[in-house]
Amino acid sequence: MDSPRTSRLVGILENIVLVAIVLVVIQSFVEDLAELLDWSWGLRRNVLYAAFALDLFFSVEFLTRFYAAFVRGSARRYMQHERGWIDLVASIPLLLFASGPQLAAIATGGAAIVGVGRTLNLLKIIKAIRIARVLRLLRALKLFRNIKHTDSVITQNHVARLASLLVTTFVAVLMFFSLVDIVANLPGFERSFRERTLTIAGTIAEQGLADSSSESALRSFVAYEQSILVVRESGHTRFARYPNEVFSRQFGPGDYTWIRSGSVEVFVSLRPVFRNQSRDSLIYLLVIVSIIGVLLFLYAPFFCMTVSDPAYVMTRGMREAGYNLQVSLNEDGGDDEMTALARSYNEEFLPLKARNAEENAASDLTLDSLGDLLDPS
Partner 1 sequence: MNSQIQTAAGFIARLLANPALKSYTPLQKEEQILQFLNANSAQLMPTLRSPQFFSGLPDHEITSLLITALTNTIDTEIPAFLDLILDRRVNFDFISFMTQRADSSAQSRDQVRKLVETMLSRPESRRALTGPLAAVYYGMSKKYLDELFQRRGYTHFELTKVQRLRMGREHVQAMLDVNIILKPAIYSVSGSEGGQSSYSSGLVQPAFAETARSLLLKRLPAVPDSVVASSVHANMSFVEHPSVEATARLASVFSARARGYQPNQRVDRGADTPDKSWFSVARRNYKFYGFDVKILDELYSVAAELLW
Interface residues with partner 1 (CB under 8 A)? 149, 304-305, 308-310, 312-313, 316, 322, 324-328, 346-347, 350-351, 354-355, 357-358, 361-367, 369-370, 373-374, 376-377
Which of 185, 159, 181 is closest to 83 using CA atoms? 159
By beta-carbon proximity to partner 1, the closer residue of 227 and 346 is 346
In the bound state with partner 1, the residue whose beta carbon lies nearer, of 265 and 309, is: 309
Task: Supply the minimum distance, in Å, between the C-beta of residue 149 and partner 1.
Answer: 8
Between 236 and 316, CB nearer to partner 1: 316
* Contact indicator for 21, 13 with CB cutoff of 8 Å: no
Among residues 184 and 361, whose Cβ is nearest to partner 1? 361
CB of 350 to partner 1, least distance (A): 5
CB of 294 to partner 1, least distance (A): 21
Residue 331: CB minimum distance to partner 1, A: 10
For residues 135 and 119, give the distance between their C-alpha atoms in angstroms, rounded to a whole number.
Answer: 25
CA–CA dist 150, 157 (Å, integer): 10
For residue 222, how many other CB atoms are within 10 A of its CB? 21
- Rounded Cα gap, residues 94 and 102, in angstroms: 11
At 367, which amino acid appears?
L
Contact 34, 47 (CB under 8 A): yes
Decide if 50 contacts 102 (C-beta within 8 A).
no
SS3 227: coil
Q: How far is the CB of 271 from partner 1 (least distance, A)?
A: 51
Cβ proximity to partner 1, 183 vs 365, nearer residue: 365
Q: Measured from the CB atom, is 156 or 257 closer to partner 1?
A: 156
The string of DSSP codes covering 149-182 is T--SHHHHHHHHHHHHHHHHHHHHHHHHHHHHHH
In this complex, which beta carbon is closest to partner 1, that of residue 244 or of residue 363? 363
State the minimum distance, in angstroms, from the CB of residue 20 to partner 1. Answer: 30
- In whole angstroms, the minimum distance from the beta carbon of 13 to partner 1 comes to 30
User: In what helix (H) or strand (E) does residue 201 lie, and over which residues does it extend?
Assistant: helix 189-206
How far apart CA 28 and CA 288 sit, in angstroms, is: 12
